[in-house]
Structures are given as structure tokens and as C-alpha cells.
């Protein structure tokens, strides 16, 4: 499997450019095209040096409320010795470009494009780019939902090349998911996977379910059905879906269509607003 993933570089279009783009925000979904990830919309974080980020999603009342997702861009010699300020947050990091060193619980781990990291709450970790090039990675954060009688998940680092994709039954491998966590491991309350469609493959029904989604297109292009609309997406685009948004797709080719997928799993549905 190719380890080439799209990563934004920022910049701005010229003044001669007309406003032509595919950005849309509805009550059920949002599409953030790669062309909107410009310098003007970057943010910065406390205790990170040489670093900027694009915020793709954040908990939003009445929309998708379980997670946030960033694309981080760390310059050479940049990084953080205090990257996370929320002790309740768990996280997944997925590197799309460059190299870096992550130190967790006193052990160093070399990261490269395709590296996947799971960070339980209160993990002692640091991130440093000692390479001569920028490193770019996704940082997906969620407030961990502890359950009495279940241990917290353990920290781990792996790589996409170490994961065998699981084909969806009846698709002859045309639709497959690379799962970094065992679906039967109920310690985990979120899954971050990579979904791959071969050219011409489809989701042939409108998935409609309680799970919220963030879908970042790593490679290829497709036509996606979101709620009642067909939208075109390509590498670098992001789709943000609230619970119960109907969804289906058709992979357009000529190469595989692949995306990084977040979903919340394995917990009871809250029966009252938080804090009551």
C-alpha cells in the first residue's frame, strides 16, 4: 500500500482568482475542501513552538459533539514538551508527511508518514521535529469515557504498513478497512481507521447511524452522498458528519480512494445533559 498521503501547505491564491470552491456547511454535514486550508485560517497552541495547525472540527452543540480534529504542521526544531493541556483527553496521531520523534513515558519513538499513535488520557508525552523538513500530522482528540470495571486502553505506536486491511464481506476486497484497534476491545470509546475503496467501488446503501464522523481524504477522489446531496471530494478534503447523517459513496478512480475515519463507539448513549 502506498504511503503517500495528502497534506496541506497553506499559502493563498492570487488576487486574480475568482471565488470557486466546494465548501459547504449544513445542519447534517460539512465539507471543508483542501483549497480552504490557507495561511489565514491557521491557529497556534500554547506550549508548541514552530507549529501551526488547521482546526478541521471541534465539539459543536447540536452538531458533532464528541471530538476535535487538527492538522498539525511542525517546522524543523519545533514541537512541544507539554503538548496536551486537558488531562481527560485521549488522542490519535496520524502522520501524513515528514518525520519526528515522539517521547512517551520516557521512551522515544521515530515517526514517519503512515505512523499511528494512540495516547490514553494523562500520558506523559513530548513531540519534536529534529528533521530538516516540516512534519504534518492529524491530531484527533476526545474526552475519554471511563467505565467502571474496564481498564483504560494502553499507549501504542504502529504503522499502516503493519496493519492488514479487512475486506468488507461480499466486496472482493474492493472496500476494505485498516483497523488499528481490535473492534472487540471495549476499553476503546473511539476508532480511527483508514478506509480504502478501489476504483468503481461503492457503499451501495445510505448508512444512517448514531456515530459521528470525521473523514479526511488521504488519496484519490469520489462522489459522496451526504444527507440528500451528492458532493465531489478529493485528496485533502474533509467531511464532518453529525449523528444519523445518511452517507454513501462511489469511488471515481483512476486510483484508490482512501480516507482517515473517526467514529465514536462502545458506550451507552447519555440519557441527560452533561452535568445534570
d(CA 165, CA 179): 7
- Under 8 Å CB-to-CB from 166, ≥6 apart: which residues? 176, 177, 178, 179
Q: What is the pLDDT along the chain (276 residues), one digit of tens a residue?
A: 456 899 999 999 889 988 878 999 999 999 999 999 999 999 999 999 999 999 999 999 999 999 999 999 999 999 999 999 999 999 999 999 999 999 999 999 999 999 999 999 999 999 999 999 999 999 999 999 999 999 999 999 999 999 999 999 999 999 999 999 999 999 999 999 999 999 999 999 999 999 999 999 999 999 999 999 999 999 999 999 999 999 999 999 899 999 999 999 999 998 987 666
Q: Is 79 helix (H, G, I), strand (E, B) or coil?
A: strand
- Under 8 Å CB-to-CB from 10, ≥6 apart: which residues? 37, 38, 39, 42, 52, 73
Strand partners, 111: 100
pLDDT for 4: 87
Task: Tell me the C-alpha to C-alpha distance, in Å, between residue 214 and each of 57, 58, 85, 179.
Answer: 8, 10, 22, 16
pLDDT for 203: 95
Q: Is 161 helix (H, G, I), strand (E, B) or coil?
A: helix
pTM: 0.96
pLDDT for 132: 98
Amino acid at each position: 500500500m502506498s504511503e503517500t498521503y495528502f497534506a496541506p501547505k497553506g499559502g493563498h491564491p492570487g488576487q486574480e482568482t475568482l471565488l470557486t470552491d466546494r465548501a459547504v456547511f449544513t445542519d447534517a454535514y460539512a465539507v471543508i475542501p483542501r483549497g480552504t486550508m490557507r495561511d489565514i485560517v491557521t491557529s497556534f497552541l500554547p506550549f508548541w513552538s514552530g507549529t501551526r495547525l488547521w482546526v478541521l472540527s471541534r465539539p459543536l452543540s447540536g452538531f458533532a459533539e464528541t471530538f476535535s480534529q487538527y492538522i498539525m504542521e511542525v517546522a524543523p526544531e519545533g514541537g512541544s514538551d507539554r503538548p496536551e493541556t486537558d488531562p481527560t483527553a485521549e488522542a490519535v496521531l496520524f502522520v501524513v508527511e515528514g518525520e519526528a520523534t515522539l517521547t512517551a513515558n520516557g521512551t522515544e519513538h521515530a515517526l514517519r508518514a503512515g505512523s499511528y499513535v494512540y495516547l490514553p488520557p494523562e500520558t506523559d508525552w513530548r513531540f519534536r521535529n529534529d528533521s530538516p523538513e516540516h512534519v504534518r500530522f492529524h491530531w484527533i482528540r476526545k474526552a475519554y469515557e471511563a467505565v467502571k470495571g474496564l481498564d483504560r486502553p494502553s499507549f501504542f505506536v504502529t504503522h499502516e504498513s503493519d496493519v492488514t486491511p479487512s475486506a468488507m464481506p461480499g466486496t472482493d476486497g474492493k472496500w476494505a478497512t485498516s483497523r488499528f484497534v481490535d473492534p472487540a476491545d471495549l476499553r476503546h470509546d473511539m476508532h480511527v481507521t483508514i478506509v480504502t475503496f478501489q476504483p468503481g467501488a461503492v457503499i451501495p446503501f445510505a448508512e444512517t447511524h448514531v456515530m459521528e464522523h470525521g473523514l479526511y481524504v488521504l488519496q484519490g477522489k469520489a462522489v459522496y452522498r451526504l444527507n440528500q446531496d451528492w458532493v465531489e471530494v478529493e485528496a485533502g478534503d474533509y467531511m464532518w458528519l453529525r449523528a444519523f447523517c445518511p452517507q454513501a459513496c462511489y469511488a471515481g478512480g483512476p486510483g484508490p480512494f482512501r480516507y482517515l475515519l473517526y467514529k465514536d463507539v462502545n458506550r451507552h448513549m447519555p440519557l441527560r445533559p452533561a452535568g445534570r
